[in-house]
Structures are given as C-alpha cells and as structure tokens.
Amino acid sequence: MIQLDEKIYFYLLAIIPVIVVLFLFLQIWKKRTQKKFADLSLLKRLTPNKSSFKSSLKLMFFLLGISFLTLGLVNPKIGTKLETVKREGVDIVFAVDVSKSMLAEDIAPNRLEKAKRLVSEIINQLASDRIGIIAYAGQAFPQLPITTDYGAAKMFLQNMNTDMLTSQGTAINEAIELATTYYDDEEQTNRVLFIISDGEDHSEGATLEAVEDANEADIQIFTIGVGKSKGAPIPIKRNGVVESLKKDRQGEVVISKLNEAVLQDIASEGNGEYIDGTNTGDAVELIKEILLQMDKTEFEAKQFAEYKDQFQWFLGAGLLFLFLDVFILDKKTKWLKKLNLFNENNRETA
C-alpha cells in the first residue's frame, strides 16, 4: 500500500510542459537565426562536432530530474507489512436525538449542539473502544456503523441536524431497536448504548418493550439528559435568524422541557444509569469512570502497521539526471560518433 505525504508538490510538475514549449520555441528561433547567418551545409562544416540530438537528450534528463525531485518532495511511503493489532475495548453506540425540540436554547447554544459536544468529548476519552452513531427523531437512522475510526465519527457527528430526518416526533424505541443491530460480534459481552436526549418520547410503552429486548441482547443502556426542567420555546430559524417560535394547534407557544423521569426509567430498566448532561466536564468524567470499570473484550483489527519513506530513491535519481544534464556537452561524443547510430557520418559526406 502506498501513502503520499505531501501531495501538494505535484503542482510542481506543471512546469514541465512550460519548459517543453520554451525549448521548442528556442529551437525554432535558433534555426531561423542560423538560416539568416549562413547556409545549413556551411554551418555543418563550421561546427562538425555539434550534435543534432544532444540538446533533446539534455532536455529529457533535465525533465526526468525535475520529475524525480518532485516525487521525492511528495515522499511516497510504502506499507511494508500487514500487522494484526489486538485491541481491547467496549462496543459503544451513541443514539442522538435530532428532533425539533433539541433546538431549544435552555442550554447554550442549543440542546443538539450540547449533545454533539458531549459525544465528541466522550470520544476524546476513548482509546480502543469501537463506536457507532445513530440519529433519531420520529424514526431512527444509522449514521455510522461500529468502527474504531474516531475521526470519521466526529465528522458524521458534526453533520447531524434536525432537518436530516423528515419524520418528526421522538421515538426512542426506534433508536434502541436499531442499536441492537449494531453489535455484530457475538463474543462481545460489553455492549453499551448511550441515549442523548431531552427525554421527549412519543412511543410510550413501545420504548420499555425495546429496552427489554436490548436487555436480552446484553446491551446496557445509559441515558444523558440535555436541557432544563423549566423548559424553553423552540425557535424556528432561517439563515440563523429567529423568524418565529413553534406553536401548538391552539396557537400557543410550545415550551419544551427536559423529561428526566422518562430517561431515568429507561436507564433503570436498561441496567444503566441516568447522567445529567448540564455540565459537560462532570458528565464526561463520570462516563469515563463507568467505562473504565467495565471488562474489556479482546478483538482484532487489521491495519498497515509500518510505512517506510521512499523519498531518498527519488531524490537520488533526480540528482543523477540533473548531473547528467550538466555534464553532457552539446558536441558529439567520440565513441558514439564511431558507432554512427544516427547516420550522422553519411550526412556529413553527403
């Protein structure tokens, strides 16, 4: 497997066609000037040792030198061996509520951004655990399957918003049911599901049934509450500007409140714990301690373990071609002239 360190240096190769065009213009100018100075046969007699192809050969060496030096700057690396790395960890799935109620701003900047920050900070504390992400509102949607790629997880996390799902409402049971399909390792004993939400749930009894199914699959459910019990209105924005507040059918402004009771029931039935997400640092520290106390299951992940720099070979080749370009003269080489590879001797006698 090949890895390129500094791809930006490939832009230097754009100088090659420029040099070729300048060389062609120079050759045309030389021929026109020589014709004005003297007849072609006379010029050959005046400069019998001038080679007709050395200038093109020197150009080729120069361009090869530039090309190899550029490749040296790019620094290609070659994976020398495929190593099986053993990891120990927990399979963790984050189910993030992306319903409209998560736009309430009782926690700055709003509940959804707070939830995303919480998950991001938790990921920062992980070492070799595998993680997955689910977005849910009126239905659940898989965002990221179980992986150890934390960078990809954060990227998907930051792209989550309340417009990504057309089905509105909050169906926590859908998220739990989808999460049960994430744990693909039958030997993995520590399966953890974090539900990050304001506790609004429209699925009622279906949620506890989904929790029971999760228990049978050895999934431990923790809930993280974002929002405040006193609640806040849900702003409707366009281009970042509040246009109005969400209202119910009677025209009254909807006040969305944190429903800790629902989240506590889910955590209790799911053999987990309810965590207050108001203070990010305290919540993350508590979750870190919870995960550290869990037994780690060993699993394997294959990856290219070693990459060796190869720039020295390209730099060496580049300097060699530039050396040849400098020390090769435009006049004919004696031993090459004797071989008469280009039929130059016959041309002279003619």
What are the residue ranges spanned by the domains of the chain?
A: 2-75+310-349, 85-302
Chain centroid to Cα 310, Å, comes to 24
DSSP state of 332: P
Q: Is 139 helix (H, G, I), strand (E, B) or coil?
A: coil
Q: What is the pLDDT of residue 188?
A: 64
Fold of 85-302: Rossmann fold (3.40.50)
Q: What is the pLDDT of residue 5?
A: 79
pLDDT one-digit tens code per residue, 127-151: 888 899 999 998 999 999 988 899 9
pLDDT higher at 87 or 146: 146
Q: What is the pLDDT of residue 295?
A: 74
Q: How would you class 317 by CB atoms within 10 Å of its CB: exposed for 0-12, middle for 13-18, buried for 19 or more?
A: middle
Q: What is the pLDDT of residue 299?
A: 66
Q: How would you class 73 by CB atoms within 10 Å of its CB: exposed for 0-12, middle for 13-18, buried for 19 or more?
A: middle
Q: Tokens 């955590």 sit at which residue?
A: 267
Q: What is the pLDDT of residue 201?
A: 83
In this predicted structure, the answer to whether residue 305 has a pLDDT above a threshold of 60 is no
277: Cβ–Cβ under 8 A, 6 or more apart, which residues? 114, 115, 118, 196, 224, 225, 226, 283
0.85 exceeded by pTM: no
Percent of the chain with pLDDT over 70: 81
CA–CA separation, 237 vs 112, rounded Å?
14
Q: What are phi and psi of 169, to 5 degrees?
A: 110, -175
In this predicted structure, the answer to whether residue 221 has a pLDDT above a threshold of 50 is yes
In this predicted structure, the answer to whether residue 115 has a pLDDT above a threshold of 80 is yes
Q: How confident is the model at residue 175 (pLDDT cuts 50, 70, 90)?
A: very high
Backbone conformation region of residue 252, classed left if phi is above 0, alpha if psi is from -120 to 50, else beta: beta
Q: In what order do the strands lie in the sheet with 91-97?
A: 140-147, 130-136, 91-97, 191-197, 219-225, 274-276
Mean of per-residue pLDDT scores for the chain = 84
In this predicted structure, the answer to whether residue 44 has a pLDDT above a threshold of 70 is no
